[in-house]
């Protein structure tokens, strides 16, 4: 059922109106049918009664015999007997009508019978009945006892329904559908257009693009909805900007005391203590960098450009090699990917750092697959329990839960990497490798 | 006493300026401090300064503006202290004529090392500053090397990221097309004499560079090996 239910506002409206109109027309048709039927019945009964009256009158005055009269027969007993459909109401009406013109009869009976059945019973039926039989109609039969063992019977066929009535009704329905549905579709479309634009604006909401307010159009309710949407969007942008400004300010304000602290560590005599202090400050600084990058994601200062991804990864690998880390990139062909290179570099650096930190080494691979660039970072570490993988992307989450400085980092790395990849329309996933260790996969769209 | 290099340290943050000045003094420098650009201009007139260490972010006139002023009026070497590691800041700083830059928070030891490098470079050039960092562009075989942005663009317009070492090598090649450059020359051109680079590092950087720019790195067409001599860029270069 739901498969046939249209999804758009205009079509739903049109379908509902069509259904309602259909029901109304059906009722209309039933009423018309009933009225026509009733009218036919009364007219036919009156005709049969009139013929009976005439026949009775002529028979009594000896002008003629029933057999000579069109559609009338004379019998010694009533031809009407069950299972014929006896109609006392017609009989009563006949008696009334006959008495009105001063004709009195003894008994009066009436029935509606199929013309064929009546013909079989009374084989000297008139031509009219014969024709009625051919037409398979029903006939109203009235019979009156005008003397002992003397019955006079007349009949009149019920007309079949005029097919023209149906035709007219169908035509009327079609015209109605045409007018009403076209109007409804048009109105529905008019209603739906501003709503569609609203939906598109909501879907395309990206605060890195300049905001065009959605045009306020359509009926008053829709206009108000659009105005409210525009206002809400402005508030959201303001809030996000405020967040970025705050993070930026926090970052910058922390840099200065950190720099001061870093200079002062040189005053510490103990060599080991001095190195540890310097390392702590470097750590804090890296976290600060991550926070600032996260804040700047919404308002990147860097333009997007097509960059050779393997070359970018190769530079990172060289940096890690210079620090003595076991990091290697498999040879691959060149692959241009649209990106903001400094952000992507940060994301990949975070992944490689994690691999080295927890897995002792990192193996990187770049390839293209189905319109996307795939970068895989493998390590030989213990991996992550499947149930924990989703949680790893939350900021400030680390598997050991300790957040101790000796394994480094505040747990922002993966969250930032994923945010950066997301901002590029890509996906970052983690999975345990069958042969042991963890694999981080970055999928970036190759663009048009 | 007077053979100590005289540094002018300009930073509005006392909490950085004072301990840093103390540290530099302990490392055989003479240090004069300034809390803002106006004070710095005054000190520049009043003392025979050898090198300026300049904070970029200062209230009032900022470090970049002061740096440009210094560059317009003298050959004094400048090292910038910047709070942001953004590439654009670095480029702007170098375009303003700074000789080097250090990102906060920095290791004072590293700052001292950089100061010594810059001073030695000055000394080697007979007191004359080396040319301002290259900011031109070079086109060869469809590639464009943009010195200002330190970017290499391939014939399809795709940016190919280079490490500092690789970029310096590429720039050395681009400014000496068709010349055979020995490892020694490359070391000198790409890293400067003071760098602790080895011949092996040159070969490593060349092979990485080839992976990035050659269609077939095993059979290089652009950066060719000259047996017994060194390397050469086998392409005409147009300065843009």
B142 touches chain A (CB under 8 A): no
So what's the pLDDT on residue B18? 92
Which residue, among A329, A315, A251, has the nearest Cα to A284 in the 3D structure?
A251
Alpha helices in A63-162, H assignment, sequence order: 88-100, 115-121, 127-134
So what's the pLDDT on residue B152? 92
Cα–Cα distance, A296 to B86 (Å, whole number): 11
Cβ contact, residue pair B87, A318, below 8 Å:
no
A333 touches chain B (CB under 8 A): no
Cα–Cα distance, A293 to A247 (Å, whole number): 10
Cα–Cα distance, A307 to A337 (Å, whole number): 5
B136 touches chain A (CB under 8 A): no
| HSE (side-chain half, CA atoms, 13 Å) at A404 | 4
Per-residue pLDDT of A96-129, as tens digits, reads: 888 888 888 888 888 887 776 665 444 444 445 5
Q: Which residue has the higher pLDDT, B100 or A297?
A: B100
DSSP character at residue A66 = G
Cβ contact, residue pair B83, A252, below 8 Å:
yes
pLDDT(A171) > 90: no
Task: Give the nearest chain A residue to B167 (CA atoms).
Answer: A315
Q: Enumerate the residues of chain A whose CB falls inside 8 A of the CB of residue B86.
A: 301, 342
3-state secondary structure of A86: strand
Residue B228 region by backbone torsions, left for phi larger than 0, else alpha for psi between -120 and 50, else beta: left
Q: Enumerate the residues of chain A whose CB falls inside 8 A of the CB of residue B203.
A: none
What is the average per-residue pLDDT within B140-163? 88
Residues 10-69 of B with CB under 8 A from A: 13, 15-16, 19-20, 22-23, 57
Tokens 């508030």 appear where?
A235
3-state secondary structure of A136: coil
A288 touches chain B (CB under 8 A): no
Cβ contact, residue pair B107, A262, below 8 Å:
yes
- State the best of B11, B158, B164, B216 to mutate against chain A, taking most chain A CBs within 10 Å: B158
Cβ contact, residue pair B154, A285, below 8 Å:
no
User: Which segment of A294-303, A357-366, B78-87, B159-168 scores lowest on mean pLDDT?
Assistant: A294-303
B161 vs A258, A260, A311: nearest CB:
A311
Cα–Cα distance, A111 to A91 (Å, whole number): 8
So what's the pLDDT on residue B19? 92
Percent share of chain A, pLDDT over 70: 86
Cβ contact, residue pair A318, B208, below 8 Å:
yes
The whole-chain average pLDDT of chain A stands at 81
User: Which segment of A261-270, A387-396, B134-143 scores lowest on mean pLDDT?
Assistant: A387-396
Task: Give the nearest chain A residue to B55 (CA atoms).
Answer: A256
3-state secondary structure of A336: strand
So what's the pLDDT on residue B124? 53
Tokens 């989450």 appear where?
A397
Cα–Cα distance, A56 to A125 (Å, whole number): 17
pLDDT(B83) > 80: no
So what's the pLDDT on residue A343? 86
Q: A225 Cβ partners below 8 Å, 6+ apart?
A: A198
Long-range Cβ contacts of A318-322 (<8 Å, 24+ apart): A318/B163, A318/B208, A319/A349, A319/B163, A320/A352, A320/A356, A320/A362
Q: Which residue has the higher pLDDT, A258 or B148?
A: A258
Q: Which residue has the higher pLDDT, A15 or A162?
A: A15
Q: Enumerate the residues of chain A whose CB falls inside 8 A of the CB of residue B88.
A: 301-302
Cα–Cα distance, B56 to B12 (Å, whole number): 10
Per-residue pLDDT of A390-444, as tens digits, reads: 777 777 665 555 444 444 455 678 888 998 898 888 999 999 988 888 999 999 9
B83 touches chain A (CB under 8 A): yes
Q: Which residues pair with B7 in a beta bridge?
A: B31, B51
Cβ contact, residue pair B159, A341, below 8 Å:
yes
Inter-residue contact B51 to B77 (CB < 8 Å): yes
So what's the pLDDT on residue A448? 62
Q: SS3 string of chain B?
A: CCCCCEEEEECCCHHHHHHHHHHHHHCCCEEEEECCHHHHHHHHHHCCCCEEEEECCCCCCCHHHHHHHHHHHCCCCEEEEECCCCHHHHHHHHHCCCCEEEECCCCHHHHHHHHHHHHHHHHHCCCCCCCCCCCCEEEECCEEEECCCCEEECCCCCEECCCHHHHHHHHHHHHCCCCCECHHHHHHHHHCCCCCCCHHHHHHHHHHHHHHHCCCCCCCCCEEEECCCEEEECCCCEEC
B203 touches chain A (CB under 8 A): no
* pTM of the shown model: 0.60
Q: Enumerate the residues of chain A whose CB falls inside 8 A of the CB of residue B108.
A: 262-263, 266
B194 touches chain A (CB under 8 A): no
Cβ contact, residue pair A307, B160, below 8 Å:
yes
- Pairing type for strands B151-153 and B159-160 reads antiparallel
Cα–Cα distance, A316 to A445 (Å, whole number): 21
Task: Give the nearest chain A residue to B85 (CA atoms).
Answer: A289
Cβ contact, residue pair A258, B104, below 8 Å:
yes
| B29, burial (CB in 10 Å: exposed 0-12, middle 13-18, buried 19+) | buried
Cα–Cα distance, A381 to A398 (Å, whole number): 15
A267 vs B19, B85, B211: nearest CB:
B19
Percent share of chain B, pLDDT over 90: 27
pLDDT(B127) > 50: no
- A138-to-A38, A41, A324, B101 alpha-carbon distances in Å: 14, 11, 108, 111
Complex-level ipTM? 0.72
Cβ contact, residue pair B160, A255, below 8 Å:
no
Task: Give the nearest chain A residue to B210 (CA atoms).
Answer: A311
pLDDT(B1) > 70: no
Q: Which residues pair with B223 in a beta bridge?
A: B233
B16 vs A256, A305, A307: nearest CB:
A256
What DSSP letter does each residue of A382-395 carry, written as one string? Answer: ----GGGTGGGGST
Percent share of chain A, pLDDT over 90: 14
Inter-residue contact A138 to A156 (CB < 8 Å): no
Q: Helix B63-73 to helix B87-95 angle, to the nearest 10 degrees?
A: 30
Which residue, among A430, A412, A441, has the nearest Cα to A348 in the 3D structure?
A441
pLDDT(A130) > 80: no
Cβ contact, residue pair B161, A256, below 8 Å:
no
Tell me the pLDDT band of B229, cut-offs 50, 70 and 90. Answer: confident
3-state secondary structure of A253: helix
**How many CB pairs (< 8 A) connect A and B?**
94
pLDDT(A218) > 90: no
Highest mean pLDDT among A67-71, A400-404, A444-448: A444-448
pLDDT(A307) > 50: yes
So what's the pLDDT on residue A314? 92
Which residue, among B161, B125, B157, has the nearest Cα to B142 in the 3D structure?
B157
A314 vs B16, B85, B212: nearest CB:
B212
So what's the pLDDT on residue B87? 58
Tell me the pLDDT band of A313, cut-offs 50, 70 and 90. Answer: very high
Cα–Cα distance, A344 to A337 (Å, whole number): 11
What is the average per-residue pLDDT within B180-204? 73
Which residue, among A55, A111, A101, A50, has the nearest Cα to A81 in the 3D structure?
A111
Cα–Cα distance, A124 to A122 (Å, whole number): 5
Q: Which residue has the higher pLDDT, A229 or A7?
A: A229
Alpha helices in A266-366, H assignment, sequence order: 271-296, 309-322, 341-359
Q: Which residues pair with A429 in a beta bridge?
A: A441
Q: Give the sign of the dihedral formed by CA B207, CA B208, CA B213, CA B216.
A: positive
Cβ neighbours, 10 Å, residue B54: 28
Q: Which residues pair with A140 in a beta bridge?
A: A112, A156
Which residue, among A409, A303, A254, A416, has the nearest Cα to B83 in the 3D structure?
A254
- Locate B51 and state its tokens: 């090198």
| B126: closest CA of chain A, how far (Å) | 32
Per-residue pLDDT of B153-181, as tens digits, reads: 999 999 999 888 888 889 889 989 899 99
Phi and psi, residue B101, nearest 5°: -145, 150
């Amino acid at each position: 059922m739901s498969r046939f239910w249209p999804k758009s506002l205009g079509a739903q409206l049109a379908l509902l109106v069509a259904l309602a109109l259909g029901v109304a027309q059906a009722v209309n048709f039933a009423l018309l049918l009933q009225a026509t039927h009733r009218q036919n019945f009364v007219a036919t009964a009156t005709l049969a009664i009139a013929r009976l009256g005439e026949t009775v009158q002529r028979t009594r005055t000896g002008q003629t015999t029933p057999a000579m009269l069109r559609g009338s027969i004379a019998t010694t007993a009533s031809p009407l007997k069950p299972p014929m459909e006896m109609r006392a109401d017609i009989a009563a009406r006949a008696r009334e009508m006959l008495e009105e013109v001063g004709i009195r009869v003894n008994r009066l009976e009436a029935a509606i019978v199929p013309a064929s059945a009546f013909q079989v019973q009374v084989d000297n039926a008139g031509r009219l009945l014969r024709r009625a039989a051919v037409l398979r109609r029903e006939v109203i039969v009235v019979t009156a006892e005008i003397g002992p063992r003397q019955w006079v019977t007349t009949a009149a066929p019920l007309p079949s329904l005029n097919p023209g009535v149906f035709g007219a009704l169908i035509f009327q329905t079609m015209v109605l559908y045409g007018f009403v549905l076209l109007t409804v579709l048009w109105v529905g479309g008019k209603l739906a257009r501003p709503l569609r634009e609203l939906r598109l604006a909501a879907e395309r909401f990206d605060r890195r693009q300049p905001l065009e307010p959605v045009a306020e159009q359509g009926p008053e309710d829709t206009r108000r909805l659009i105005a409210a949407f525009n206002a809400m969007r402005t508030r959201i942008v303001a809030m996000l900007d405020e967040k970025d400004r705050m993070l930026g300010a926090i970052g910058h304000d922390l840099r200065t005391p950190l720099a001061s602290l870093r200079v002062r560590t040189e005053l510490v005599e103990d060599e080991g203590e001095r190195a540890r202090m310097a390392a702590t400050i470097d750590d804090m600084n890296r976290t600060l960098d991550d926070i600032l990058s996260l804040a700047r994601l919404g308002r990147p200062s860097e333009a997007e450009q097509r960059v050779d991804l393997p070359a970018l990864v190769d530079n990172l690998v060289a940096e890690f090699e210079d620090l003595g880390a076991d990091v290697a990139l498999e040879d691959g062909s060149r692959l241009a990917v649209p990106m903001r290179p400094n952000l992507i570099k940060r994301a990949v650096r975070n992944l490689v750092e994690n691999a080295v930190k927890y897995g002792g080494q990192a193996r990187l691979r770049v390839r293209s697959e189905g319109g996307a660039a795939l970068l895989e970072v493998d390590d030989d570490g213990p991996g992550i329990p499947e149930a924990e993988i989703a949680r790893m992307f939350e900021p400030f989450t680390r598997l050991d839960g300790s957040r101790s400085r000796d394994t480094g980092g505040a747990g922002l790395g993966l969250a930032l990497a994923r945010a950066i990849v997301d901002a590029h329309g890509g996906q970052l996933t983690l999975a345990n490798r069958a042969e042991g260790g963890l694999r981080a996969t970055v999928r970036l769209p190759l663009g048009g | 006493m007077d053979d100590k290099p005289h540094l002018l340290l300009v930073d509005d943050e006392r909490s950085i300026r004072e301990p840093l000045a103390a540290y530099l003094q302990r490392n055989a420098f003479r240090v004069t401090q300034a809390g803002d650009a106006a004070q710095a201009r005054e000190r520049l007139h009043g003392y025979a300064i050898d090198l300026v260490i300049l904070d970029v972010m200062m209230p009032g006139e900022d470090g970049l503006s002061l740096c440009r002023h210094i560059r317009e009026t003298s050959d004094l070497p400048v090292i910038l202290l910047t709070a942001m590691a953004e590439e654009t800041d670095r480029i702007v700083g170098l375009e303003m004529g700074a000789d080097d830059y250090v990102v906060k928070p920095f290791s004072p030891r590293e700052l001292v090392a950089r100061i010594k490098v810059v001073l030695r470079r000055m000394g080697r050039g007979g007191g004359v500053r080396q040319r301002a960092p290259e900011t031109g562009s070079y086109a060869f075989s469809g590639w464009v090397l943009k010195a200002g942005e330190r970017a290499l663009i391939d014939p399809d317009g795709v940016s190919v990221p280079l490490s500092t070492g690789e970029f310096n090598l590429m720039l050395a090649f681009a400014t000496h097309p068709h010349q055979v450059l020995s490892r020694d020359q490359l070391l000198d051109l790409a890293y400067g004499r003071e760098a602790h680079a080895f011949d092996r590092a040159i070969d490593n950087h060349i092979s990485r560079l080839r992976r990035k720019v050659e269609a077939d790195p095993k059979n290089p067409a652009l950066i060719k090996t000259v047996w017994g001599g060194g390397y050469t860029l086998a392409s005409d270069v147009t300065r843009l």
